[in-house]
Structure formats: structure tokens, C-alpha cells
Amino acid sequence: MLWLLVEEAAKSEAERESAHHAPAIVEFVNRHIGEAVHHFQVTYTKPLWDRLLSNFGTTAESVFGPYTPENAVPWYTVMFVIACLLCLAVVLFMRRRLSVEDPDAKQQILETGILTIKNLLLDNVGSHGMKYFPVIATFAVLILISNLMALIPGLMPPTASMSVTFALGLTSFIYYNYVGISENGLFGHLRHFAGPMLVLAPLLFPIEIISNLVRPLSLSVRLFGNMFGDEQIAVNIANIWPPFTYLLSVILYPLTAFVAFVQTFIFVLLSIIYVSEVTHAPHEEHEKEPGGIITLPNSLEAGGGH
């Protein structure tokens, strides 16, 4: 089932690459290193993938698309590297402009985002949840910048590729399971899948295992579907009567930005909830912290009115 979904995603990406001209930066990269990367793939990685995927009745080209020097480095790989570089540049730029006495508008926006993630961790995980802040914040910055790349002419959002979103979902899955195993041990981590009642364990355990194994796919499909759909809407509207309809796609930029922020928030919130399920506050903190799974940040509650 999973391989069928991957194959369909690969086919859709291949069709999109053939239907739309690849960004100039992608062509530049493949023009200079595509031949060498293609030789390495055909010689080493493709035979390994063919041998592995033959057990599932498919081939590497069926899953990943045709191997050519022109697409040896896929567009989403180039865009994801650019997104990582943009994240580093934004963090370094904002760090140099931080001011306690006179914070500017950009710093206030940054502080709002940091406080939102902090409050989500405190409300859903507890005070000990701040040790997970670096990883959760990294998810937020990387996904948000990747989504907002749809607004930059000449670039494409890497999150419009199933390969990228599945990698992000798998990373979240591995991280919260690592947290659970490191804090509770392997047996203790598996035991929480059985539920609180031993009688229901034979029923709950397989259900919980399956639901957890599906989480990387649900995270990735949700993010991919929204970003890919938003991009396709803008492209199709722009191509109705070019160049006159280009302005219509620009009008949709606020909607694209809104979708980018919402999808980032959903991915971060779900990752926090997954972490909260496998970690627990130290014993002395249990009676101090209120219960609850999903709560709004304190800053939002304070401004919520009556």
C-alpha cells in the first residue's frame, strides 16, 4: 500500500516536472554536477534500490522516476538545501539585530513565534518540555521558510514534494519515539501502547502500534497536499491568460502565506502532542501541573476576550 502511494507521488512529480519548466537554479546545478551524480546513481545506488524494491514487485525508476543527468539532483533537493541556507541566514541575521532596549517589528514577530512554541510546550508537555524546544523550534523555522518559498519568484516550496514532507514526518516520528525510549526504556515505551488496563492490552496494543506507524504518513500527506494544492491553484490561475492573469496569482499571495503559517502550526502542534504522549514530568511536578492535551498559548488566552 505504501509503495503504491510512493509510486503515485513519484509519477505526479515527474508529470509536473515535464509540464512545468524546472527553475533556473535546478538546471544550473544539474548542468554542473548532474553528469557525475547520475553516474554515481546508476553505478551504485540504483542497483541497490532495484534489488530491494524487487521484493515489492517494482523498480527504482517506478518509484523515483527516470534516471537522467537532467534530473540527477531533483528540484526538491535543491530547494530544500536553499531552505536550510535561508534558515541559517535568517537566524544569523535576526541574532545580530536583537535588542533588549529597542526591539523592532521583526524582533517582536520573532518573539511572538518563540513564545507561542514555548507556551505550547509548557501547556501540553509541562515545564520539563522546554528541553525539547530546540528540535520543535527547528521544525517550525524550517517548515515555515520552506512553505514561504512559494512566494519567491524563481523558487518552489520543497514541502510541495512528497519526498520532503515524508522525510519531515519520519524525522518527527523517530524523534518522539527516541524521547520515549530514552526516558522510559524500550519496554516502558512499548508498555504505554497497551493502555492502562491489562485486560484491554491485546486489543489496544496492535491498534496503537498501527496508529503510530501511520503518523509519519499522515503528517507528510497533510503538509504535502495543502502546499501542493495551493501551488497548483496559483499556477493554473496564472496560466489561464498569460501574462494578464499573472496578477491574479499575486493576489493569492496572502492566502499562500496563511496556508504556510497554518500548516507549520499544525505540524508543530502534532509533534508536540506526540512528544507529550511519551514523556512525563518528574514525580514531584505531577501535582503542580494541570492536565490537558491541547491548550492554547497563554498569550492567546489573555487576548481572547470573554
CB 109 within 8 A of CB 51: no
Q: What is the pLDDT along the chain (306 residues), one digit of tens a residue?
A: 554 555 555 555 555 555 456 889 999 999 999 999 999 999 999 999 999 989 988 888 888 888 999 999 999 999 999 999 999 999 888 888 777 777 888 888 888 999 999 999 999 998 888 999 999 999 999 999 999 999 998 899 999 999 999 999 999 999 999 999 999 999 888 888 887 777 888 888 999 999 999 999 999 999 999 999 888 888 788 778 777 777 777 788 898 999 999 999 999 999 999 999 998 776 545 445 444 444 555 544 444 444
Q: pTM for the complete prediction? A: 0.83
Phi first, then psi: what are they for 59, rounded to 5°? -130, 170
**Residue pair 24/154 in contact by the 8 Å Cβ criterion:** yes
| Domain coordinates in residue numbering, the chain | 1-73, 94-300
Helix/strand/coil percent split, the chain, to 5: 80, 0, 20
* pLDDT digits 0-9 by tens, 234-260: 878 877 877 777 777 778 889 899 999
Sign of CA dihedral 184, 185, 188, 189: positive
pLDDT at 272: 96
Helices (H), 150-200: 162-191
Residues 259 and 108 sit within 8 Å (Cβ to Cβ) = no
d(CA 268, CA 157): 18
Nearest to 233 by CA among 220, 249, 219, 251: 249
In this predicted structure, what is the pLDDT of residue 12?
56
Residue in 113, 105, 106, 100 with CA at minimum distance from that of residue 300: 113
Q: Judge contact between 126 and 176, C-beta under 8 A.
A: no
CA angle 268, 281, 293 (to 5 degrees): 45
- φ, ψ for residue 39 (rounded to 5)? -60, -40
Do 142 and 87 contact (CB within 8 A), yes or no? yes
- Cβ-in-10-Å burial (0-12, 13-18, 19+) of 71 comes to buried
Three-state SS for 264?
helix
Query: CB-hemisphere CA count at 13 Å for 297?
Result: 16
Residues 129 and 148: their CA atoms lie apart, in Å, by 28
Each residue of 254-276: pLDDT tens digit? Answer: 989 999 999 999 999 999 999 99
Say what the alpha-carbon torsion angle 6, 9, 10, 15 is, to the nearest 10 degrees: 160
Cα separation, 158 vs 84, in Å, equals: 11
Give first-to-last CA distance, the chain, whole Å.
Answer: 48
